[in-house]
Amino acid sequence: MTQSLITPTQTPLLGLSLAELTEWVQQQGQPAYRGKQLYQWIYQKGVRSLGDITVFSKQWRQEIADFPIGRSVIHHRSVAADATVKYLLQLSDGNIIETVGIPSYKRLTVCVSSQVGCPMACDFCATGKGGFTRNLEPYEIIDQVLTVQEDFERRVSHIVFMGMGEPLLNTKNVLAAVRSLNQDVGIGQRSITISTVGIRDRIRQLAQHKLQLTLAISLHASNQRLREHLVPSAKSYPLKDLIAECREYVKVTKRRISFEYILLAGFNDLPDHARELAKNLRGYQCHVNLIPYNPISEVDYQRPTEEQIKSFVNALEEQNIAVSIRYSRGLEADAACGQLRASRVTT
């Protein structure tokens, strides 16, 4: 038997594998088959308290009732007209994070957070205006998916790491959560997307894991000058270096990269910007995902018109760049990512 990864005063159980949970129950003096029961109740039934696992004896349930599984509490829930649901989840230490459930006929996508707040301070982003508190633990990431699944009473099919935080500044915990979401919750790697603004050497390190997930790069600019204005970290990690690291990622993983590009009226949305962007991206597997800007009160950027959006798309297609437009869901619930938290959490 391997050395235990936990003790009753340490990490909650959510995120542990079947083997690790089996080891834990044996440490509690229980037979090994209890591990499979515990595993099923945590990942398939979404139990929130060990005291609620009715296949365990009443005496043992009472003994372990206070040991944490690692579930959050819904602090606030906001539903948009398109059925998108935004959640504020309260963690065990009182911190609040934002999670979004995005339903469609065939899919239920969860937009998860990887940090409490975000240290990147991107100029257009509501979350970045609130500062950074800490990284999320693997169980706090997995819990977001189980919470949405429970609330919708429907299996989650896709996960996007596009909520609060920079995932590649929390790589260890994010990858641990991805492992569990894939192997324990049962979501295919190809249905998981990790979005990053770009952290030097982290994309290269991620490539070594050769995962089948989708990597999305929050690019948002066609040249270094514009990117520095939007993304403070671009000063120390230039666009040319980011693009070079992305090319290495494609070569190692054989996986196409998606480039996220927020269209800001009069700033980065001209056909010349599109042609400049195409020049940077030409020659390897990639896809551009255009996101018309959703205004927030802290800055003065505006959303481009449909005609401006179409002109940008046409300019990219003329350069043979694969492109699509992503219109944000749930705008009525609270306009931009991070705004729900800002409007509902008081200090």
Tell me the catalytic residues: 98, 337
Distances (CA, A) of 142 to 53, 130, 176, 314: 20, 23, 10, 39
Among candidate residues 266, 279, 258, 267, the one with its CA nearest the CA of residue 326: 258
Distance CA 156, CA 65 (A): 28
Helix or strand run (H / E) with residue 28? none
Among candidate residues 231, 262, 257, the one with its CA nearest the CA of residue 245: 257
Distance CA 197, CA 199 (A): 7
Residue listed under structure tokens 């003329």: 318
Q: In the 8-state DSSP scheme, what is residue 208? A: T
CB 69 within 8 A of CB 49: yes
Dig out the tokens for 167 from the structure. Answer: 């995932």
